[in-house]
Amino acid sequence: MRLKQALQGVLTEKEVQSFVGSYDVVGDIAIIIVPESLRAKERIIAEVLLAANKNIKVVAKRAGNYGGEFRTIPLTILAGEKRKETEVKEFGIRLRLNPETVYYSVRSGHERRRIASLVQEGEEVLVLFSGVAPYPLVISRFSRALTIAGIEKNPEAHRYALENLRKNKQLDNIELYRGDAGDVLAAQAGRCFDRVIMPLPRMAAAFLPWAVKVLKPQGWLHFYDLQPKESFELSIGKILDACRDQMRVVDSAVITRCGHCAPRIFRICIDARVS
């Protein structure tokens, strides 16, 4: 509300409406999306945002889109301190990260908490694509899992993940591996898990053969995908195909919407139980 009021002297009513809600706060960094029509006013918007919220120390804008293998996004600082590293608190977990060099979405916090609430005592859990380790840490904090293994290819994300493990040192049932998910699993041939989490929408399907292979009978797969509403079933189809190839059976598959990335495209998670 304070931000809305503060922006009223700078932007038209319509511009205020379109701008408010179109930014994320990652730790003490506000990341804004500046539409072309507001380019000339971006610095003043950033200064207003900084002044309106004492918890924000840096205002940066998205200078491109999420891209590349590591799903990172270029940022340009518009106001405040000249740094891009910050610390985030997620359900009491401390996460250090640089939102330009690693992928991290504050908007997925509730989804990570939802998954943690499904984990049963004694489970061995695998998080493929573990980033700076938010899934492993939230699962460790809110479940009685025996072990949680995370695999991450981006060396910078893995470095932060190790630092975050040290920061949350009471959570000591996590193992982190750096490398390509397939390569790391190949090197641990024979190891199996009760639950495999695959938070790499759009590209996770290529790793389904691995996920199914390392999943114990009656295990759970959490497969993330991006789909328009009318095509959710296609994501279930990808799991069915991967299971059929390995003579495995999908007992149940439930779809959860956990965000959207474009006007009609949803981020979904399929929770599938596989025998």
Phi and psi for 93 in degrees, rounded to 5?
A: -85, 140
Interacting span for ligand SAM (CB under 6 A) from 13-21, 38-46, 126-134, 159-167: 126-134
Interaction mask 18-57, ligand SAM, x per CB under 6 A:
----------------------------------------
Task: Verify binding: residue 158, ligand SAM, rule CB under 6 A.
Answer: no
Measured in whole angstroms, the distance separating CA 186 from the mean position of its chain's CA atoms is 24
**What's the CA gap between 247 and 241, in Å, rounded?**
10
Q: Of these, 115, 199, 269, 274, which contacts ligand SAM (CB under 6 A)?
A: 199
14 SS3 class: helix
Cβ proximity to ligand SAM: between 69 and 175 the closer is 69
> In this structure, are residues 130 and 165 in contact, taking their beta carbons and an 8 Å threshold?
no
33-41 long-range Cβ contacts below 8 angstroms, 24+ apart: 33/61, 33/62, 34/61, 34/62, 38/11, 41/10, 41/11
Task: Verify binding: residue 87, ligand SAM, rule CB under 6 A.
Answer: no
In which residue are the tokens 């359900």 written?
91
Task: Verify binding: residue 269, ligand SAM, rule CB under 6 A.
Answer: no
Task: Verify binding: residue 154, ligand SAM, rule CB under 6 A.
Answer: yes
Cβ proximity to ligand SAM: between 200 and 269 the closer is 200
Alpha carbon distances (Å) from 153 to 53, 64, 94, 107, 260? 35, 22, 21, 22, 25
Task: Verify binding: residue 157, ligand SAM, rule CB under 6 A.
Answer: yes
Task: Verify binding: residue 175, ligand SAM, rule CB under 6 A.
Answer: no
H/E run at residue 234 = helix 232-245
Task: Verify binding: residue 130, ligand SAM, rule CB under 6 A.
Answer: yes
Task: Verify binding: residue 71, ligand SAM, rule CB under 6 A.
Answer: yes
Q: How many residues bind ligand SAM (CB under 6 A)?
A: 21
Q: Of these, 38, 42, 53, 70, which contacts ligand SAM (CB under 6 A)?
A: 70
CB of 144 to ligand SAM, least distance (A): 21
> In this structure, are residues 216 and 203 in contact, taking their beta carbons and an 8 Å threshold?
no
Do strands 124-128 and 93-97 pair parallel, antiparallel, or not at all (unpaired)? unpaired
Task: Verify binding: residue 86, ligand SAM, rule CB under 6 A.
Answer: no
197 SS3 class: strand
Cβ proximity to ligand SAM: between 194 and 225 the closer is 225
Q: Of these, 6, 19, 101, 135, which contacts ligand SAM (CB under 6 A)?
A: 135
> In this structure, are residues 243 and 221 in contact, taking their beta carbons and an 8 Å threshold?
no
**What's the CA gap between 202 and 206, in Å, rounded?**
9
Cβ proximity to ligand SAM: between 81 and 183 the closer is 183
**What's the CA gap between 84 and 94, in Å, rounded?**
17
The residues binding ligand SAM (CB under 6 A) are: 69-71, 103-105, 108, 129-131, 134-135, 151-154, 157, 180-181, 199-200
